[in-house]
Amino acid sequence: EVQLIESGGGLVQPGGSLRLSCAASGFTFSTYTMNWVRQAPGKGLEWLSYITSTSNTIYYADSVKGRFTISRDNAKNSLYLQMNSLRAEDTAIYYCARSLPHFDYWGQGTLVTVSS
């Protein structure tokens, strides 16, 4: 069974940093492109970032470019999102999702709250 489990969310002050993780199981993680998507409270879905299986191609949404960094460790079956210079508008549930390129599996999400 494919599973994606996010962790690392929490309350952080504006300007602070957090590192999210997504633990993958039930499939050959090292062969899939992965994504991060977020959803602000009561709002729609916003794609954030994309990383290919070997990490040779990475893309970001303009809203997070220069502040967020996606990475992966195929040996650990894990995807990461390093978030720096956090703002109130980054408050959201953060999901990892597998690409086929459509997003066929999603994690349950981890909540990030940016507030003083």
State both tokens at 17. 């940093």
CA distances from 84 to 69, 74, 87, 88 (A): 8, 23, 9, 12
Binding range to other proteins, per CB under 8 A, among 11-19, 71-79, 82-90, 103-111: 103-111
- Which is nearer to other proteins, 9 or 107 (by Cβ)? 107
Interface pick for other proteins out of 1, 31, 41, 62 (rule CB under 8 A):
62
Give the separation between CA 105 and CA 99, rounded to whole angstroms: 8
Could you give the string, one character per residue 3-42, with x where binding to other proteins holds by CB under 8 A and - elsewhere? --------------------------------x-------
Binding of residue 73 to other proteins (CB under 8 A) = no
Binding of residue 44 to other proteins (CB under 8 A) = yes
- Residue 113 dihedral angles phi and psi, to the nearest 5°: -120, 120
CA 68, 66, 72, 31 dihedral sign is: positive
Binding site for other proteins (CB under 8 A): 35, 44-47, 50, 59, 61-62, 95, 99-109
